[in-house]
């Protein structure tokens, strides 16, 4: 620090709280910090990890559904506009913060210890998401193994889990192409396979009585955590190599599914339904909100994954270029996934003789009911089913790597001398703990708990965290100082577009999203099941807890600091 203080008249001072290892000189700190911490070992490790993190399950089962319900092709107008206002600027902000500091989501708040609670809130959110996200991967593994057969088990009725309502919808048209009148009161084999065999949800009376553990799901969840642990065993050095496969192979499968889908009879019917512009929807505020939500959650901003990945970069990595590659690539992938999904749904609607909107669903309903049912209508159905679920597996694993790496990095950066030499052991303990906490999701009523976690763990709490981060960096740390830091890394300062978004447009948009989500709040539900009041309260408290960590962190920072805030201005700056 003496050298830096003596040279303050000759050159700009690097903020001592955000000095990179290469800038520390003779400062009495751990000189081998970066070497001990580790870095990406290949040029494409970081880029592919970011692509794998952002391009996940939501691109396949949420974007296409949101697009067709919010104006079809017209939805792309607010989608790309929100990408420009929120997605790209916030993505670049988080990468810049991580790369300049070479620190995780907790330690990075040395820039402003008052806001360290935002980092703790990130960890709480990403921890809750990681618990249920790996359960979804376990479901995918279950279906992947079930596809290794000559006849898919959800193709026909007559199994022990089927009821009298089960009807094989394939070929249920009469000679005039009309469906039987009682079709609406029937259930497809794929739906009963999912609900009565995989979930065994009939064994639970609700979220308050989860029932018994499903040992087949329990083993699939264990396998999912073992895969994740083995891939993050050596940190970014191992996960950075795995993503060369998991981030690229889904595109090959998606291309195969797309080519197969568009060659099916009736495919154009589904694609037309997916992309026909309905511009009158643009007059609705709901469409703009849905576009912003899709961008916000799809890019994974605020979870700490981007910040963590960037912290392992070299100081001069061109994250400006990488930002545009990842964000635009993510958007294009979502659109292509819509073609692959809706081409098959168009074929399915023609086979069943029903409108496309009656077979189109979002979320688990698409991945585990509708699309598997569509696979049974194709020749070589087990092959296409295996490809589809293998694609979902690789898409999900990349995001899960990021979630776990975020938690491990954040904690080891806080206690480097104790945990960094034992990072592999610590990672294993985290995986074991999360596996045990996720066992409730493997019970008969586990889906109720998964829905509750999905609805509340990363809802309004995540928006509050991102708004706080944006304001703390630009207003407290200072937009000029932040732009100067980026200039040191990249050789240029962010232009007016980025500064305007960081200062005004992005926080204002996120605030509007937050207000909208509160005003339009709807209780959780799963099918016809309505969650009891205590479960709703538990979910709301789950979201509030992450918000409360921010003022709690401020209180801790004040109590730890000697003197008053007025006497210690460096607490904020």
> What does the longest C-alpha to C-alpha distance in the chain come to?
91
What is the distance between the alpha carbons of residues 489 and 551, in angstroms, rounded to a whole number?
A: 32
The residue among 58, 64, 63, 56 whose CA lies nearest residue 357 is 64
Integer Cα distance of 242 and 363 in angstroms: 26
Q: Which residue has the tokens 């005003």?
A: 519
CA 26 to CA 6: how far, in whole Å? 13
Which residue from 133, 105, 117, 104 is spatially nearest to 437, judged by alpha carbons? 133
Tell me the DSSP string of 240-299.
HHHHHHHTTHHHHHHHHHHHHHHTSTTHHHHHHHHH---GGGGGSHHHHHHHHHHHHHHT
What length is written for the chain?
573
Euclidean distance between CA atoms 27 and 217, whole angstroms: 53
Q: Is 571 labelled as part of a ligand binding site? A: no
Number of Cβ within 10 Å of residue 486's Cβ equals 22
Q: Please indicate if the annotation marks 55 as binding a ligand.
A: yes
52 annotated to bind ligand? yes
Q: Is 395 annotated as a binding residue?
A: yes
d(CA 448, CA 443): 10
Q: Does the annotation list 385 as a binding residue? A: no
Coil, strand or helix at 443: strand
- Identify the H or E element spanning 544: helix 533-560
The answer to the question of whether 198 is labelled as a binding residue is no
Alpha-carbon torsion (99, 104, 110, 114), positive or negative: positive
For 380-392, give one letter per residue: b (16+ CB within 10 A) or e: ebbebbbbbbbbb
Q: How far apart are CA 454 and CA 139, in angstroms?
A: 15
* Residue 452 and residue 538 in contact, taking contact as beta carbons nearer than 8 Å: yes
Residues 6+ apart with CB under 8 A from 177: 353
How far is the C-alpha of 469 from the C-alpha of 123, rounded, in Å? Answer: 14
Question: Residue 465 annotated as binding?
Answer: no
Annotated binding residue at 343?
no
Q: How far apart are CA 33 and CA 349, in angstroms?
A: 59
Beta bridge partners of 467: none
Of the candidates 137, 174, 236, the one whose C-alpha atom is nearest the C-alpha of residue 441 is: 137
| Contact between residue 198 and residue 215 where contact means Cβ atoms under 8 Å apart | no
Pick out the residues of the known binding site. 52, 55, 59, 298, 330, 395, 398-399
Pick out the residues of the known binding site for Na(+). 52, 55, 59, 298, 330, 395, 398-399
């Amino acid at each position: 620090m003496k050298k830096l203080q003596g040279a303050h008249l000759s050159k700009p001072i690097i903020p001592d709280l955000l000095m990179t290892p290469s800038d520390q000189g003779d400062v009495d700190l751990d000189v081998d910090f970066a070497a001990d911490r580790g870095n990406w070992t290949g040029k494409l490790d970081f880029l592919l990890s970011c692509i794998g993190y952002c391009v996940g399950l939501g691109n396949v089962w949420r974007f296409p559904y949101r697009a067709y319900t919010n104006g079809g092709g017209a939805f792309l107008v607010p989608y790309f506009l929100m990408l420009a206002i929120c997605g790209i600027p916030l993505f670049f902000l988080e990468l810049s913060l991580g790369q300049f500091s070479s620190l995780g989501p907790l330690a990075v708040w040395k820039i402003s210890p008052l806001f360290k609670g935002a980092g703790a809130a990130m960890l709480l959110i990403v921890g809750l998401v990681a618990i249920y996200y790996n359960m979804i991967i376990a479901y995918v593994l279950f279906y992947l193994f079930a596809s290794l057969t000559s006849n898919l088990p959800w193709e026909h009725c007559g199994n022990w889990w089927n009821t009298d309502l089960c009807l094989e919808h394939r070929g249920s048209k009469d000679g005039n192409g009309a469906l039987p009148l009682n079709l609406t009161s029937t259930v497809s084999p794929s739906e009963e396979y999912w609900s009565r065999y995989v979930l065994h949800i009939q064994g639970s009376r609700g979220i308050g009585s989860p029932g018994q553990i499903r040992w087949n799901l329990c083993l699939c969840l264990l396998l999912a955590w073992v895969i994740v642990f083995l891939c993050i065993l050596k940190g970014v050095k191992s996960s950075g190599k795995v993503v060369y496969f998991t981030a690229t192979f889904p595109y090959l499968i998606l291309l195969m599914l797309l080519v197969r889908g568009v060659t099916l009879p009736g495919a154009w019917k589904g694609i037309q339904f997916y992309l026909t512009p309905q511009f009158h929807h643009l007059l609705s505020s709901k469409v703009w909100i849905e576009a912003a939500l899709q961008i916000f959650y799809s890019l994974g901003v605020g979870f700490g994954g981007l910040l963590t990945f960037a912290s392992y970069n070299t100081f001069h990595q061109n994250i400006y270029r990488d930002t545009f590659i990842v964000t635009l690539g993510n958007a294009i992938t979502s659109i292509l996934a819509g073609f692959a999904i809706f081409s098959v749904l168009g074929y399915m609607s023609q086979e069943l003789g029903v409108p496309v909107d009656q077979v189109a669903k979002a979320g688990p309903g698409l991945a585990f009911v509708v699309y598997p049912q569509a696979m049974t209508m194709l020749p070589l159905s087990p092959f296409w089913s295996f490809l589809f679920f293998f694609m979902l597996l690789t898409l999900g694993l990349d995001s899960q790597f990021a979630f776990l790496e975020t938690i491990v990095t954040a904690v080891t950066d806080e206690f480097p001398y104790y945990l960094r030499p034992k990072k592999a052991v610590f990672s294993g303990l985290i995986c074991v703990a999360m596996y045990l906490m996720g066992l409730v999701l493997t019970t008969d009523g586990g889906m109720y708990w998964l829905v509750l976690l999905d609805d509340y763990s990363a809802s309004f709490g995540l928006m509050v965290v991102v708004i706080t981060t944006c304001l703390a960096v630009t207003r407290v740390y200072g937009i000029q100082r932040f732009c100067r830091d980026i200039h040191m890394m990249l050789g240029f300062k962010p232009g007016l577009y980025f500064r305007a978004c960081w200062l005004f447009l992005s926080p204002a948009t996120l605030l509007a999203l937050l207000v909208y989500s509160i005003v339009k709040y709807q209780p959780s539900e799963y099918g016809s099941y309505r969650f009891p009041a205590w479960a709703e309260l538990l979910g709301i408290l789950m979201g509030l807890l992450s918000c409360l960590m921010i003022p709690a962190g401020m209180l801790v920072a004040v109590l730890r600091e000697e003197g008053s805030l007025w006497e210690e201005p460096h607490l904020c700056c």
